[in-house]
């Protein structure tokens, strides 16, 4: 039953039969998904009995259930002022209805009260996936580094949605210590989890973790090898070059794109011809990354390819424009004297 929990958790107030009937009527409406009628019933009852905490808590439960967090926040503030010794949000986090628990977790995350982070711990093991996801998102929204340890546990959740949410939350918290926990997810069965984990490893890895990342280069997971190579490329580590060059022809467009990005970050001009070929890649996002790399590497030999790209009516309009810009920049760079004083050959 949806609102009996609120009645039991907030056993206080006038105790009138009218209040009990209002809660029961609202419960019936809520079970029938007639939330507007449920709220109307409770609003009328609260107007008649404004000091009855059970009515207000029942209304809070409905608002959380339908994810009206703006109104739930107002209701919670009223309850906190009227009954400062009661913890209504904690009660909602333990509600019988998983939709209320989910809404309570969402509200807690929006409040930004890091002191209540511990109240989310039981929800990380909730039987309902959406409740666990809400708890993970709330911990990420609290932006408290102490929440990172809890989120690392969620990386092992049986639901791929929860694992992905936990990885995203760790990235949001900038949890460098969580890189070691993200690496196993590079082999996750779900592609989106692998994608989020890869982003986390690339963005969060620190120079002190290069030894751990270099171990990925020796593994059998091709995707993980490229992720590790891109990560250490950020630190100018030349060990990444062979792996990145080999990944330029990978069947996964995201791997090809990341390989180009890593080689450009290393300023590996010997890879310029191979990167130049990616200007004709079937994936637009790879072609865009190749354009960026051609500009970074100052690949003057790419001019003919750029001209073709800029004039190709079949090419994406934005990419044609980008090709013209890169071509213009290469022309200007060719006029710029090198450190030795000579002007580079066109």
- Sequence-distant (6+) residues with CB within 8 A of 200 are 167, 168, 170, 171, 178, 179, 182
Last residue in a domain, options 111, 142, 170? 111
Give the per-residue pLDDT at 337: 63
Give the per-residue pLDDT at 222: 87
- The number of folded domains in the chain is 3
On whether both 173 and 217 belong to a single domain, the answer is no
On whether both 154 and 250 belong to a single domain, the answer is no
**What is the spatial distance between Cα 254 and Cα 173, in angstroms, rounded to a whole number?**
24
> Is residue 117 in a domain?
no
pLDDT, tens only, 119-137: 999 999 999 999 999 999 9
On whether both 252 and 174 belong to a single domain, the answer is no
Q: Which two tokens stand for residue 194?
A: 């692998």
pLDDT at 270 over 90: yes
**What is the spatial distance between Cα 161 and Cα 164, in angstroms, rounded to a whole number?**
5
On whether both 165 and 73 belong to a single domain, the answer is no
Tell me which of 4-8, 119-123, 254-258, 324-328 is least confident: 4-8
> Is residue 20 in a domain?
yes
On whether both 9 and 86 belong to a single domain, the answer is yes
Q: How confident is the model at residue 12 (pLDDT cuts 50, 70, 90)?
A: very low
Q: What CATH number did the domain enclosing 175 receive? A: 1.25.10.10
How many CA atoms lie within 13 Å of 157's alpha carbon, on the beta-carbon side? 29
> Is residue 200 in a domain?
yes
Tell me which of 140-144, 145-149, 303-307, 335-339 is least confident: 335-339
Q: Which two tokens stand for residue 120?
A: 């989310």
pLDDT at 65 over 50: yes
pLDDT at 340 over 60: no
On whether both 95 and 21 belong to a single domain, the answer is yes
> Is residue 305 in a domain?
no
> Is residue 122 in a domain?
no
> Is residue 343 in a domain?
no
Give the per-residue pLDDT at 80: 87
Question: pLDDT > 70: what percent of the chain?
Answer: 92
Q: What is the mean pLDDT of residues 295-312?
A: 96
Give the per-residue pLDDT at 27: 86
> Is residue 146 in a domain?
yes
Q: What CATH number did the domain enclosing 36 receive? A: 1.25.40
Residue 246's domain spans which residues? 206-300
On whether both 5 and 73 belong to a single domain, the answer is yes
On whether both 155 and 224 belong to a single domain, the answer is no
On whether both 92 and 22 belong to a single domain, the answer is yes
On whether both 229 and 293 belong to a single domain, the answer is yes
On whether both 40 and 139 belong to a single domain, the answer is no
Q: What is the mean pLDDT of residues 213-224?
A: 90
**What is the spatial distance between Cα 247 and Cα 263, in angstroms, rounded to a whole number?**
11
């Amino acid at each position: 039953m949806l609102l009996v929990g609120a009645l039991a958790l907030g056993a206080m107030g006038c105790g009138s039969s009218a209040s009990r009937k209002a809660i029961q009527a609202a419960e019936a409406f809520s079970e029938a998904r007639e939330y507007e009628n449920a709220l109307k019933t409770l609003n009328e009852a609260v107007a008649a009995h404004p000091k009855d905490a059970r009515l207000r808590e029942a209304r809070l439960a409905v608002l959380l259930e339908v994810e009206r967090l703006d109104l739930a926040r107002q209701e919670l503030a009223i309850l906190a002022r009227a009954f400062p010794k009661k913890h209504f949000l904690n009660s909602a986090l333990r509600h019988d209805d998983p939709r209320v628990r989910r809404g309570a977790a969402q509200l807690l995350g929006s409040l930004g009260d890091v002191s209540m982070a511990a109240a989310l711990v039981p929800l990380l093991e909730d039987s309902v996936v959406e409740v666990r996801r809400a708890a993970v998102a709330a911990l990420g929204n609290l932006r408290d580094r102490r929440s990172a340890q809890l989120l690392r546990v969620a990386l092992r959740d049986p639901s791929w949605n929860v694992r992905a949410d936990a990885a995203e939350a760790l990235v949001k918290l900038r949890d460098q210590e969580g890189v070691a926990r993200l690496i196993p997810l590079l082999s996750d069965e779900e592609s989106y989890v692998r994608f989020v984990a890869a982003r986390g490893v690339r963005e969060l890895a620190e120079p002190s973790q290069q030894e751990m990342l270099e171990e990925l280069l020796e593994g059998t997971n091709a995707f993980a090898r490229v992720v590790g190579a891109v990560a250490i490329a950020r630190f100018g580590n030349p060990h990444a070059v062979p792996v990145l060059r080999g990944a330029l022809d990978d069947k996964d467009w995201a791997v090809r794109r990341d390989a180009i990005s890593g080689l450009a970050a290393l300023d590996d001009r010997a890879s310029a011809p191979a990167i130049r070929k990616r200007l004709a890649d079937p994936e637009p996002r790879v072609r865009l990354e190749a354009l960026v790399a051609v500009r970074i590497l100052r690949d003057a030999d790419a001019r003919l390819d750029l001209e073709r790209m800029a004039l190709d009516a079949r090419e994406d309009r934005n990419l044609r424009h980008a090709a013209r810009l890169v071509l213009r920049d290469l022309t200007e760079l060719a006029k710029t004297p090198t450190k030795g004083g000579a002007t580079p050959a066109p």
